[in-house]
Amino acid sequence: MRGEISIFVSAILMGLLPLFVKIIASVVENSLTIAFIRHFFGLIFISVILLFTSQKPRFSKELFMLGVVNTTVISLYIASISLLYAATAAFLLYMAPIYVAIYLFLIKRNIDKSFIAIPIGIFGLLLMLSPYGELNIGLIYGFFSGIVYAIFFIFIKRLRQEYSSLNITFSNLLVGTILLSPFAFEIGSFDPIFILLGLIPTAIPFTLLSYGMKFVREDRATVIALVEPLTASIIGFMVFGEFLSFKQIIGGFMILIGVVMAMLYEH
């Protein structure tokens, strides 16, 4: 049970990311600069955790590539949050397992139970996007955040067999910090909220997730993590007054159902 609780709390904290992004976006306009801030301060805290756990960082070509993919996901997601409702951006990101199901279906060329998740998830996505008359840059960022997150999901399944979750998190944040370092020059002045961004929706939930993964199967962990888009939706409503239409609410629940089905029947 402690593993499930750790992952549950981790998902809630990660769901707070839109709160920090929207606040910081009022003083830092470039979303890539915000992504750098999250990576940099998250890296500091994860480095301290590695030090206390006596784990030595490991590096490889695979971890570098995973770090590039992870940096792309975070950058696209933060850009999407800056331009869309928090709930819309979160559900666009969490379409990733549906895209993985599509990928597996195309590779296997056979229909199994996970195939049912594809039309459910896609129809839910269409309902979520129904209020938007046309594509805008925020929706494009959100759509590709989900696509790249699906690629990340496929990669990390293989790497988790060889590397610890903390080591993967450290390498992801390190690669992201290096790649996004040119955007550090756009930071006007230091704000204490930068530390909170690296701690609350980054270092703490990543650490709790790595702890929880020791006791919980990956498919079950991913389902529990669906608390994240729900938390983002609540934050958007309570803090920023973002109202979803009835169609969007139904669409969001359909995406959740599709993701649960895709994860439970993936194997």
Helix (H, G, I), strand (E, B) or coil at 251: helix
What is the pLDDT at residue 222? 65
Q: Is 106 exposed, middle or buried (0-12, 13-18, 19+ CB in 10 A)?
A: exposed
Tokens standing for residue 81: 């949050």
As a whole number of angstroms, the distance between CA 149 and CA 104 comes to 15
Range of the domain at 146: 2-264
Tokens standing for residue 86: 């928090």
When computed from its CA atoms, the radius of gyration of the chain, rounded to whole angstroms, is 18
Q: Please answer whether residues 247 and 130 qualify as being in contact, where contact means their C-beta atoms are separated by less than 8 angstroms.
A: yes
What is the pLDDT at residue 180? 97
The total of structural domains in the chain comes to 1
Tokens standing for residue 112: 């199994």
Instruction: Tell me the pLDDT of the chain (267 aa) as tens digits.
Output: 677 888 889 889 999 999 999 999 988 989 999 999 999 999 999 999 888 888 888 889 999 999 999 999 999 999 999 999 998 999 899 888 788 777 777 776 555 566 677 788 888 888 888 777 677 899 999 999 999 988 887 787 678 778 887 888 899 999 999 999 999 998 988 899 999 999 999 988 888 877 776 677 655 666 677 788 888 888 998 898 888 888 888 988 888 887 777 666 554
What is the pLDDT at residue 111? 53
Q: Phi and psi of 130, rounded to 5°?
A: -60, -35
